[in-house]
Copies of this chain bind each other. A is one copy, B any other.
């Protein structure tokens, strides 16, 4: 399986790095120990880019890599606003919910809306972003996770867990999804 994580200059750290770490645990023998193909890449237009807080990372692949992915996870962050106004950036994202799972956290939903992927569907987002998403013609729901077939949106940074688990459950199964979530739980 190929998983594309779509990121950009000005992403919110936790919205990329928490699901990145959860996806890593799918292969890790300590956690879900999945032994099939599992290839997770951070895709961006910028070869090297910074989070909103200033952490700098290198992309693994350009955006075009996402076109062949089995699942696409769109991150959030203030930098999303420049991207939804950039037709050249949007054009590099060739996504198809008929054959791909597509998930977006918080302002990542604005990117799905700009791509026309939320037409006729409802979505959730970050509390302060509902009005912005509605202004793009999307019906909103104040829930952590809204799923329509192969398309899911998450609201509130910690809902990245739900989105990652949804992708893993759909691609591998419920046991692997539960194992990665359990692996980051607080000690009880």
By a beta-carbon cutoff of 8 Å, the part of chain A in contact with chain B is 12-14, 17-18, 20-22, 24, 30, 52-53, 55-58, 124-128, 142-144, 154-159, 162, 183-188
Q: Can you name 12 extra interface pairs (CB under 8 A) apart from A142-B188, A143-B187, A144-B188?
A: A14-B17, A14-B18, A21-B53, A30-B128, A55-B57, A126-B187, A144-B186, A155-B187, A158-B184, A158-B185, A158-B186, A159-B187
Residue from the list B20, B30, B183 in contact with A53, Cβ < 8 A: B20
Residue of B nearest to A125 (CB): B187
Q: How many copies does the complex hold?
A: 2
- CB neighbours of A30 from chain B (8 A): 128
Do A56 and B57 have beta carbons less than 8 Å apart? yes
- CB neighbours of A127 from chain B (8 A): 187
Q: What's the minimum C-beta distance from A133 to chain B, rounded to whole angstroms?
A: 12
Residue from the list B58, B144, B155, B162 in contact with A56, Cβ < 8 A: B58
- CB neighbours of A162 from chain B (8 A): 186
- CB neighbours of A185 from chain B (8 A): 156-158
Could you list 29 examples of A-B contacts with CB < 8 Å? A13-B18, A13-B20, A14-B18, A14-B21, A17-B18, A20-B53, A20-B55, A21-B157, A30-B128, A55-B57, A124-B187, A125-B187, A126-B187, A142-B187, A142-B188, A143-B187, A144-B186, A144-B187, A154-B186, A155-B186, A155-B187, A156-B185, A156-B186, A156-B187, A157-B183, A157-B185, A158-B184, A159-B186, A159-B187
